[in-house]
A = this chain, B = another copy of it.
Amino acid sequence: MTTTLQPRWLDADQQRIWRSFLNGVARINERLEAELRCFGLDLGEYEILVHLSESPDRSLRMSDLADRVRQSRSRLTHTVARMETKGLVARMACPSDRRGVIALMTNQGHDLLVEAAPAHVESVRRALVDPVSPEDFAALGRAMDAVTAVQD
């Protein structure tokens, strides 16, 4: 049985909160994207740079990187190809697995991240951290962890 016979509808409060969630997430995304556009980046590209910068040798296997930034492998291939033409990342063969490809951040990519990061953090604060009370912010973290803990 894949569907319940009697749908468990959301009550008025739950529905209101669900819509607040949709609206809030959209607003946050808009602001972060708008801010990063000044640096010629979008959020997906920014996250790629962040994860590379935090990894040894500023490099990661493509599939590993894809998991961390929650992009499909296909999408990551396209995105990294574009970033490569911009000079932000480079690709090299993986020595231990000949199927593998290693993405690595260039100095230019690192410079751009260093340049964009303060403004990005500032927009995360303005869009989310500052307007929300510390208690509710902590609850938000617990809620999202619970969401992520659900197995498919």
Q: How many copies does the complex hold?
A: 2
- A interface, over-half SS: helix
Determine whether the beta carbon of A140 is less than 8 Å from that of B10: no
Determine whether the beta carbon of B27 is less than 8 Å from that of A148: yes
Asked if A96 is at the interface of the complex by the 8 Å CB criterion, the answer is no
Contact stretch, chosen from A57-65, A97-105, A130-138? A130-138
Partner of A119, one of B3, B25, B119: B3
Which residues of A in the span 93-152 have a Cβ within 8 Å of any Cβ on B? 117-119, 121-122, 124-129, 131-133, 135-150, 152
Determine whether the beta carbon of A136 is less than 8 Å from that of B131: no
Determine whether the beta carbon of B128 is less than 8 Å from that of A147: yes
Asked if A14 is at the interface of the complex by the 8 Å CB criterion, the answer is yes
Asked if A8 is at the interface of the complex by the 8 Å CB criterion, the answer is yes
Determine whether the beta carbon of A121 is less than 8 Å from that of B70: no
Determine whether the beta carbon of A121 is less than 8 Å from that of B8: yes
Partner of A139, one of B10, B25, B140: B140
Among residues of B, the one whose C-beta sits closest to the C-beta of A18 is B124
> Which residues of chain B have C-beta atoms less than 8 A from A122's C-beta?
3-4, 7-8
Determine whether the beta carbon of B10 is less than 8 Å from that of A144: no
Determine whether the beta carbon of B136 is less than 8 Å from that of A150: no
